[in-house]
Structure 1
Amino acid sequence: MTASPADLARRQADAIAARVRPPRFPDREFPVTDHGAVGDGITDCTAAIAGAIAACHAAGGGHVIVPEGTYTTGAVRLLSGVDLHLHAGATLAFSRDPAAYLPPVLTRFQGVETYGYSPLVYAHGQRNIAVTGAGVLDGRADPDHWWPWSGQEEFGWRPGMPQQEDDWPRLWAQAERGDPVAERVYATGHHFRPNFLETYDCENVLVEGVTFVRSPMWVMHPVLCRNVLVQNVTVDSIGPNNDGCDPESCRDVVIRGCVFNAGDDCIAVKSGREADGRRVNVPSENILIEDCVMLHRYGAITLGSDMTGGIRNVFARRCRIGGPGLYFGLYIKTNSVRGGFAENVQLDDLSVTHLTKEFLTCDFHRGEGDTGDHPPHVGDIGVRNVTVGQARRALLARGYPHAPIRGLRLADCSFAALDEADRLEHVEGLVLEDVSRPEPTQRDEPHDAT
């Protein structure tokens, strides 16, 4: 007997949940205080934390313990076999001095590989690593530090001040030309903000229990990683581009039981951007999001816009979504400049209170419109057992005539209040099954979907 689409999606999601397991660490502890760290909020503990991590790694792994107190530090570099564990009452307070995040490391900025300031917590090419506990990681970003580099006046930038857009055209041009990544160095004298926690080309990654506040940019950013578990984490960071969790070109990821009060997308699945995304050409696949709360600001669950390498097999279930500052439920962002694909995206059992815009938006005409040579492929999008209290629309789906959106299915969904009628263009295979919704409260006038 052939399984129904709903049963097949549940089996695929269950398989990811069964496959992704946290790394295990030897029962050894390495308190940072044994290496000279002082939790007075003043003493620079960078060297002490690095010493405890090195000792733990050299011993074959274990737990680097951060006890109660406030520990000031620069960049923290994780090594294989190390669980950085913050006790309740412990805070890692990160330096606001960009020099504390040198030398430059391999990272991605907006989907393009570069050497830039180190993320505040960073690992490259490591196995079995974790950040756990009940403590707080405080990036100490604010309108006077890091955030003005966004170029947004809301976050402290003023005309004449440096900003990331001063550097972005050059990095983008280097990527388009195919310049070697080693030649793309943007640290001292440049203004790309570092992400908070980034694991690059790592395997068996766990982030559990901790709270992130005041991030310079994206909060959690696994890149080219395998077997990633993010669970019971709180993100409370409403700064510019403060996405909560951005798995990029990763395989087998579970994001479970987290609360996102973010300054941008809560969860944004990515896979590289434009020429660089095509060069690396690694999709994000097998992503499970379950039992999370998404409160603020743009997309609760977003695919893109850096998705040139493609995204497949994304499942979300049993999540609570909505708030006065949250825009979209599912937000798929691409166009013929970005390209890529999004396929087999399945949402089940979501409770949405209110959104300021659409529950589901996929608009190929957003941004650059249809000006590129790489039409995206988006299809097999399933939405089941979803209740929405208030939204502007249920659906805004606009494909291209030469690249329609294919296979969009809603089943057993309820919308209590909608402001406008759906907007659909070049959508093939739309199925609405047991979908209840009221008449919109106003006429549908064309306007920018963003």
Structure 2
Amino acid sequence: MNIRDICIAALMTTAIATANGNAMAGNIKTYRSGPVNITVEEPEIPALSVSITDFGAKGDGLTLCTDAFAKAIASLSERGGGTLRVPHGVWLTGPIVMKSHIRLQLDDMAVIKFDPRLSLYKSLGELFGSNEETGNGGSEHRQSPLCAYGATDIEICGHGIIDGAGEHWRPFKRNNATTHEWRDRTSREGVMNAKEDRWYPMTPDEQEYARQRVGEETGQWKEYKDMVRPELLHFIRCSRIRLDGVTFQNSPMWNLRPELCDNITIKGCTVRNDHNAANGDGIDLESCRNVYLSRCVFDVGDDGICLKSGRDEAGRRRGVPTRDVIIDSCVVYHAHGGFVVGSEMSGGVRRVSVSDCLFMGTDNGLRFKSNRDRGGIVDSIFARNIYMERIKNEGILFDMYYFKPSEGRAFLKDMHNYKVSDVPTVDETTPTFCNIFIENITCAGADRAIYMDGLPERPIDGITISGFHATATNPSLISEGTNITLSGITITDKATGGSLYLHNTKGVDVSNDGGRTKIERFGSRK
């Protein structure tokens, strides 16, 4: 079966699954963006309303309110659901477990601040046993501060702030910090890994616990809290979710992670992390479907808006793609990528539209990443009407050698004699990227406007870029690509005036650029 047949089969599978899906009751909204048309059912919440103060909570930032949140949610749940109001104040708490038909509503100037003590958060092994669907880190991984498991009809809304106290979880690298930041972090409780030049936040009690769990002789106990740190929000197998207006910030790891969820609406939210927050992604939609993400702002330490579907064999075995997603009118400031697919995309990503977005100072604009061993099919992705500026690396990036050496990278470094050896045969571990359409993009400043780096055994295939206007420092490159069309493009770079290098490519068509782009071919396939 060739790559075109694989992509067509994937599209047919998605269409059949959508047609056969069970119809759901409730408030159904229909959204269309280009060729992507989705229906999203929003949560239904009963009219009953209570305040967290009704259950003894105090918003003084000092009183631990974990029991009050648990009692309030249990009380609402027993009566069929309703709204839990969080008024003005700072509400310190351990984990909040959302249940079905519950709305968490934050008033203006309300802050939910999570207590970072490891002992407050159960391990996923305690909650689920050894179920691999519980996510990264295995059974020792901790439950998220804001979590839900198998629930329906959940809403988190208002104009308050949810803070994950991530600085008490995340490791801190010396070379990512100013002198003041380094002195501040290392003056707190924690341990230093001199070999990595990295500081790990851990209280004395947590250090002792880590020694017991890992064994002091290995030295890895220093990394224990980093190894088990959770996402700020993690919903697993939930349906009919709405996040509206809230600021999510300072996550231990990723900020927002719906996993194996459907019917998700996210509007008007702000997601923030320190720029040097390790693994501080904005949102990671993992194996989710029927998602509408609109008018949100991201300013984070890792990828901004990211689509995933599991990693390597576990992701392929689960086999649940992220699909039927519309993203519009979002702004991404600092992030490793504005819109990102991968690298954990082993279950596939299909039928996604991202449009009318601004990427202002991200490391990459549109970022597609994978490598050998991932497998998975990424197809039917539509990106249009996007403005980028001050992009540190690439405006459009396809990287199939994520964290691996490649002939494409070697070529850019004038190492033309470097060759990738031991090219494997195509099998289930080979990732596929096809049928991706990018239209009406402005990139006002990048290192490279375009960098595509495919695999020799499975080139990047069927990419169409039209109406792309970019200024860059260095020339663009397409390596190991086939059936790629670029039309109506203008690329200007400081190094050569405007060059596009084609390395080991086949069927690359560059038209309607007025002859402005210089095309240079190297080792192109016949």
> Which TM-score bucket, shorter chain as reference?
0.7 to 0.9
Q: Does 1:83 align with 2:103?
A: yes
Aligned mate of 1:409, from 438, 441, 464: 464
Aligned mate of 1:266, from 304, 316, 327: 304
1:38 is aligned to 58
2:506 is aligned to none
Q: Does 1:342 align with 2:396?
A: no
Aligned mate of 2:238, from 202, 207, 213: 202
1:365 aligns to what SS in structure 2?
A: coil
What letter is aligned with 1:159? N
1:251 is aligned to 289
2:166 is aligned to 141
Aligned mate of 1:351, from 387, 396, 400: 387
1:98 is aligned to 118
2:299 aligns to what SS in structure 1?
A: strand
1:301 is aligned to 339
Task: Give the count of matched residue pairs.
Answer: 407
Contact 1:258–1:291 (CA under 8 A) maintained in structure 2: yes
Deviations 1:416-438 (A, max 9, x none): x2111111112111111111222
Deviation, 1:352, is 1.1
Deviation, 1:264, is 0.3
2:265 is aligned to 229
Deviations 1:88-144 (A, max 9, x none): 1111010010111125345868756545211010000000011111100011222xx
What letter is aligned with 2:435? D
Q: Does 1:392 align with 2:447?
A: yes
1:158 is aligned to 192
Cα distance between partner residues in 2 of 1:55 and 1:94? 22
What letter is aligned with 2:50? F
Deviations 1:2-24 (A, max 9, x none): xxxxxxx94433x22xx124212
2:336 aligns to what SS in structure 1?
A: strand
1:378 is aligned to 433
Deviations 1:173-204 (A, max 9, x none): xxxxxxxxxxxxxx987732110011100000
Deviation, 1:365, is 2.2
2:333 aligns to what SS in structure 1?
A: strand
2:519 is aligned to none
CA pair 254-112 structure 1, distance change in 2 beyond 3 A: farther
Deviation, 1:322, is 1.7
What letter is aligned with 2:246? V
Matches within 5 A, 1:357-376: 357-368=393-404, 374-376=429-431
What letter is aligned with 2:64? D
2:152 is aligned to 127
2:47 is aligned to 27
CA pair 254-189 structure 1, distance change in 2 beyond 3 A: closer
What letter is aligned with 2:441? V
5+ long unaligned stretches in structure 2: 1-31, 178-184, 186-190, 203-222, 406-419, 502-526
CA pair 69-439 structure 1, distance change in 2 beyond 3 A: closer
Q: Percent identity?
A: 30
Cα distance between partner residues in 1 of 2:225 and 2:270? 33
Matches within 5 A, 1:104-119: 104=124, 105-106=127-128, 114=139, 116-119=141-144
Q: Does 1:438 align with 2:460?
A: no
1:247 aligns to what SS in structure 2?
A: strand
2:517 is aligned to none
Cα distance between partner residues in 2 of 1:424 and 1:111? 33
1:12 is aligned to 35
2:18 is aligned to none
Cα distance between partner residues in 2 of 1:290 and 1:197? 22
1:437 aligns to what SS in structure 2?
A: strand
CA pair 411-163 structure 1, distance change in 2 beyond 3 A: same
1:20 aligns to what SS in structure 2?
A: strand
Contact 1:233–1:258 (CA under 8 A) maintained in structure 2: yes
Contact 1:30–1:55 (CA under 8 A) maintained in structure 2: no
Q: Which has the larger radius of gyration?
A: 2
Contact 2:477–2:500 (CA under 8 A) maintained in structure 1: no
Deviation, 1:410, is 1.1
Matches within 5 A, 1:175-214: 191-214=227-250
CA pair 102-41 structure 1, distance change in 2 beyond 3 A: same
2:488 aligns to what SS in structure 1?
A: strand
What is the TM-score with the length of structure 1 in the denominator? 0.85
Q: Does 1:58 align with 2:78?
A: yes
Contact 1:412–1:435 (CA under 8 A) maintained in structure 2: yes
1:328 aligns to what SS in structure 2?
A: coil
1:289 is aligned to 327
Cα distance between partner residues in 2 of 1:82 and 1:12? 34
What is the TM-score with the length of structure 2 in the denominator? 0.73
Deviation, 1:219, is 0.3
Deviation, 1:154, is 3.4
Q: Does 1:421 align with 2:475?
A: yes
CA pair 445-10 structure 1, distance change in 2 beyond 3 A: closer
Deviations 1:306-339 (A, max 9, x none): 111111111101111122xx11111111111222
Contact 1:111–1:272 (CA under 8 A) maintained in structure 2: no
Deviation, 1:299, is 0.6
Cα distance between partner residues in 1 of 2:224 and 2:304? 30
Aligned mate of 1:280, from 318, 321, 324: 318
